[in-house]
Amino acid sequence: MTERITRHRLQVASNLCQFIDTQVLPGTGVTPAKFWKGFDAIVADLAPKNIALLAERDRLQSELDAWHTANPGPIAAGDHGQPNDMAHYRAFLEKIGYLVPVPDKVRISTSKVDAELAKQAGPQLVVPILNARYALNAANARWGSLYDALYGTDVIDEAKGCQKVGKKGGYNPKRGAKVIEYARYVLDRCVPLKKGSHIDSVAYSIKGGKLAVKLADGSNTSLEDNDQLVGYQGEAKTPSSVLFVHHGLHLDLIINRATAIGASDPAGVSDLVVEAALSTILDLEDSVAAVDADDKVLAYSNWLGILQGTLTEEVAKGDKTITRGLNPDRLYTAPDGKKPVRLHGRSLMFVRNVGHLMTNPAILYTDKAGEVREIPEGIMDAVVTTTIAMHDLAKTKKDAIRNSRKGSVYIVKPKMHGPAEVAFANELFGRVEKLLGLPESTVKLGIMDEERRTSVNLKACIAAAASRVAFINTGFLDRTGDEMHSAMLAGPMVRKADMKASTWIHAYERNNVLVGLQCGLRGKAQIGKGMWAMPDLMKAMLEQKIAHPKAGANTAWVPSPTGATLHALHYHQVLVSDVQKDIEKTHAKRDAQSEHDALLTGLLHIPVAPAPTWSEAEKQQELDNNAQGILGYVVRWVDQGVGCSKVPDIHNIGLMEDRATLRISSQHMANWLHHGVVTAAQVKETFERMAAVVDAQNAGDPLYQPMAGHFDTSMAYQAACDLVFKGLTQPSGYTEPLLHGWRLKVKAAG
């Protein structure tokens, strides 16, 4: 039984109440009396609005279900005079309020946005906030060793004696030589010399405020553009590092002949450190399993530790234990030798709150009818995470470990369905600001463009929070899940592997950038793209993910600090601000209404298979893939409380899985089951067979609890089955209600 403390109409879990009173509020200038009175008022006023928004989701889904039942199959792209052609479909969506009028000339007015979001273009990390080590690693991933990233991944081929481990064990100098050559070519592309190549350098120094480079042939040269020289460390004649800038990102050439690599390098270069993860999202949502007050207090504590600069974690390194904390800022001497140069040492932190759907038993409240309810978790997150951020806002010393230097709080709000829900988030954060005495629009909003009703009304969504928008970001995974659930009754969906080739996805990715630029995000906010989900396949990432900056996105998600270091190279190859300007110029010459109509037609295309003629083998392959992925993720979530992890797929390729990927797999199986593509018996047999596969893949985990042979007692297995067999009735196809319910049962059982 949870111990609770009464604060007005709120019944607060005692550990959460004590955490807020004794750790969060001191130093903010907000007294507990004021805080709890204001918190209570926010819940009383806004919880009913939250509930009404969820009821509107249900109403619209009922309308969609009825329409698709009467008009099954794909939507005809043109106006063919049929009930399910695009003209009729759009008219129906407008009639029920799914599509809203497009507002004219929307321009964001967001101010006080840090350069990492407004000016620079670079990678973004997303990490579960419950894991302090991951949070610290992500914060410190602002700067990454290119040598380490290249040496430790498949970017450098292991053929011809270039294995990661040398013949005698340890470092392989042949592989190291490939790494060094690669890094020198990066320097040649980004900070070219007037003559010659960095490959031939034998010495670097600073002379008269300029870079002096001695080459192997005895000649001397300097930078083609000396404005790229930002500073140095050590003595000008023999610097220990030389700092450059290119496309707004920094590269730090480390010179240290005392190291093994530096000693063998003609110029003494021991590494090339690149500015990598400019921003990070610490996640309270899809990548965590936070179901009660204990979980929420841990999550909030880590956010507090990050913003106070006090979070540490003990990390084992061989037979030693080290204490990892937040990196300090990086200090250099300007090229003229007269003034210091300070660069931010850490990634700029967002916190992702939960969406509008879930409630949490950490706080109970009494509604106007006298019923005791769980608090809407998004309201709780908004109040607590913003209050915690006041510790960062209060810092004034230049040498303090700060997050925002502009005085802003950055919060990502996921899974919002349309402009009314964005307007509600805007109202919620406005109420929190008043409670805490913060200036209006201190809280900056990241809008996840990951639900269908948001995509088709994106401009109106941005308009609903025009003074707060700090980023918009496509979320292909949740967007796919919502695509399937919204049109669940239209017919059997195409196979998952074919989904990325669907008409709607191309329109979706294009529309996000165009609308963002139309609304003035260039130079003021981020336009982001989604995750590279295969952390072990970095060579493929380097080959493919350059498409994101080329599309005009000034950030994209990566699965690790190493991924951030490598993805940063793409922003040296592509100057995103120029791409955005070119898109704006091209778009300005086109008929805006015609282009909007064309993109909307694409966005509304439903990925129903026009002729579902898959073979029995193809159907089983799809079932196997989905069931294995569901079980592999759910067993860790429910049994161990692990919300995001690298889960081996059916081919033993590690994939970063979270609730968004789970939503796709479970909705896809539910869809095929509903339309008779597969039978309930097939699904059950597949789950039982794949349980044994997942058990074998986790055989090395001492905490793992096998599912095969324990189908009636394994709560994880039962949760996985529920996600499919109860998939049609889950709100918007979300997995959270079922996952949370089963996780709470596991915790209650001890």
In a domain, 109, yes or no: no
The secondary structure of 72-95 as a DSSP string is -SPPBSS--SSTTBHHHHHHHHHH
Same domain, 472 and 586: yes
pLDDT of residue 587: 83
CATH number reported for the structural domain that contains residue 736 in this entry: 1.20.1220.12
C-alpha separations of 534 from 110, 560, 701 in Å:
34, 10, 21
C-alpha separations of 303 from 298, 309, 502 in Å:
9, 10, 39
Return the higher-pLDDT residue of 269 and 590: 269
The chain-wide mean pLDDT, for the chain, equals 96
Distance CA 678, CA 685 (A): 11
Q: Residue 592 above 80 pLDDT? A: no
In a domain, 68, yes or no: no
Distance CA 97, CA 456 (A): 12
Distance CA 603, CA 452 (A): 8
Q: How confident is the model at residue 589 (pLDDT cuts 50, 70, 90)?
A: confident
Distance CA 720, CA 742 (A): 10
Q: Give the residues across from 551 on adjacent strands.
A: none
Q: Residue 383 above 80 pLDDT? A: yes
CB atoms within 10 A of CB 207: 12
Mean pLDDT of 685-713: 96
Strand 359-366 and strand 654-657: pairing?
unpaired
pLDDT of residue 120: 98
Helix (H, G, I), strand (E, B) or coil at 265: coil
pLDDT of residue 653: 86
Mean pLDDT of 98-114: 96
Distance CA 145, CA 259 (A): 15
Mean pLDDT of 609-623: 94
In a domain, 62, yes or no: no
Last residue of a domain, one of 603, 629, 652: 603
Q: Residue 298 above 70 pLDDT? A: yes
Q: How confident is the model at residue 648 (pLDDT cuts 50, 70, 90)?
A: confident
The secondary structure of 460-524 as a DSSP string is HHHHTTTTTEEEEEE-HHHHHHHHHHHTGGG-PBPPHHHHTTSHHHHHHHHHHHHHHHHTT-TTT
In a domain, 578, yes or no: yes
Same domain, 573 and 438: yes
**In this structure, are residues 230 and 222 in contact, taking their beta carbons and an 8 Å threshold?**
no
C-alpha separations of 331 from 145, 258, 300, 677, 733 in Å:
17, 21, 31, 62, 49
Reported as a single tens digit per residue, the pLDDT across 193-204 is: 999 999 999 999
Domain that holds residue 633: 616-748
Among 220, 315, 322, 330, which residue's Cα sits nearest to residue 273? 330
Same domain, 217 and 306: no
Q: Residue 690 above 80 pLDDT? A: yes
Distance of CA 220 to the CA centre of its chain: 46
Same domain, 423 and 492: yes
Distance CA 489, CA 485 (A): 8
Same domain, 547 and 625: no
pTM here is: 0.97
Same domain, 187 and 318: no
Active site residues: 352, 658
Last residue of a domain, one of 603, 625, 647: 603
User: 410-443: b or e for each residue (b if 16 or more CB lie within 10 Å)?
Assistant: bbbbbbbbbbbbbbbbbbbbbbbbebbebeebbb
Domain count of the fold of the chain: 3
**In this structure, are residues 432 and 443 in contact, taking their beta carbons and an 8 Å threshold?**
yes
Place of tokens 């810092």: 395
Reported as a single tens digit per residue, the pLDDT across 388-421 is: 999 999 998 877 899 999 999 999 999 999 999 9
Q: Residue 430 above 70 pLDDT? A: yes
Mean pLDDT of 444-471: 98
pLDDT of residue 652: 84
Distance CA 633, CA 644 (A): 8
Q: Residue 217 above 80 pLDDT? A: yes
Q: Residue 694 above 90 pLDDT? A: yes
pLDDT of residue 656: 86
In a domain, 395, yes or no: yes
Distance CA 717, CA 695 (A): 11
- Percent pLDDT > 90 in the chain is 91
Among 350, 455, 458, which residue's Cα sits nearest to residue 404? 350
CB atoms within 10 A of CB 567: 29
Q: Residue 79 above 70 pLDDT? A: no
CATH number reported for the structural domain that contains residue 233 in this entry: 2.170.170.11
Q: Give the residues across from 472 on adjacent strands.
A: 447, 527
Same domain, 511 and 631: no
Same domain, 588 and 457: yes
Reported as a single tens digit per residue, the pLDDT across 245-255 is: 999 999 999 99
Place of tokens 């607060």: 12
Mean pLDDT of 563-570: 98
Same domain, 583 and 622: no
CATH number reported for the structural domain that contains residue 402 in this entry: 3.20.20.360
In a domain, 681, yes or no: yes
Of the listed ranges 167-181, 225-239, 585-599, the one predicted with least confidence = 585-599
Mean pLDDT of 491-495: 97
In a domain, 371, yes or no: yes
Beta-strand runs (E) in 545-692: 555-558, 645-648, 654-657
Burial (CB count <10 Å: 0-12, 13-18, 19+), residue 252: buried
Q: Residue 747 above 80 pLDDT? A: yes
Same domain, 624 and 565: no
Same domain, 356 and 249: no
Q: Residue 39 above 90 pLDDT? A: yes
Reported as a single tens digit per residue, the pLDDT across 546-559 is: 999 999 999 999 99
DSSP state of 259: S
Mean pLDDT of 480-486: 97
In a domain, 171, yes or no: yes
- Percent pLDDT > 70 in the chain is 100
Mean pLDDT of 468-476: 96
Last residue of a domain, one of 254, 275, 296: 275
Reported as a single tens digit per residue, the pLDDT across 48-65 is: 999 999 999 999 999 999
Calculate helix-pair angle for 476-486, 503-518, nearest 10 degrees: 120
Same domain, 640 and 550: no
